[in-house]
Structure 1
Amino acid sequence: SWSGEQPDPASSAAPWRVYNVGNNNSVEVARVVALLESELGKPAIKELVPMQAGDVPETCADVDDLMRDVGFRPSTPIEEGVRRFAEWYR
């Protein structure tokens, strides 16, 4: 059953589900920024600071539920995704 202290979407009785649709490959933030700079033709204003409390060194989307329930596995390479985002953003 659902618990607010330990929320687990899979335990909800609600007739819907929320899925993580991100790519399950880890990409460094610096790489994403560089791709955005390239696609938008503008340098980012960066202030590099040490890792902050709560930061994690690496993470990626867990798409296991999406693959199991829907049969879909995200496969868009980061370069293509950022390019398409930049086209939409403009």
Structure 2
Amino acid sequence: ILGVKADRQYEPMQPGDVSQTYADITAIERDLGFKPQVGLRDGLTRFAEWYRGYFKI
């Protein structure tokens, strides 16, 4: 998406860190009829393009 390799530096877990999280929008779909209009990859790509333009990088 960004065209660069991530420079990851893993650090030990800190107190309060959550090791795993999962997005579950079942309730909002059921209760409000919300369904995402943009997929994850497309959304990340759009955000990266906006970010680069906004911060002129």
TM-score range, shorter chain: 0.5 to 0.7
Between Structure 1 and Structure 2, how many residues are aligned? 52
1:71, distance to aligned residue in structure 2 (A): 1.0
TM (norm. structure 1) is 0.42
Find the counterpart in structure 2 of residue 53 from structure 1. Answer: 15
Q: Which runs of 4+ in 1 moved over 6 A?
A: none
Find the counterpart in structure 1 of residue 40 from structure 2. Answer: 78
1:86, distance to aligned residue in structure 2 (A): 0.7
Larger Rg: 1
Q: Can you give the 5+ residue segments of structure 2 that lack an aligned partner in the other structure? A: 53-57
Q: Can you give the 5+ residue segments of structure 1 that lack an aligned partner in the other structure? A: 1-38
Q: Percent identity?
A: 48
TM (norm. structure 2) is 0.56
What secondary structure does 1:67 align onto? helix
Task: Pick 1 or 2: higher relative contact order, CA cutoff 8 A, min separation 6.
Answer: 2
Residues 1-90 of structure 1 mapped to structure 2, 5 A cutoff: 39-74=1-36, 76-90=38-52
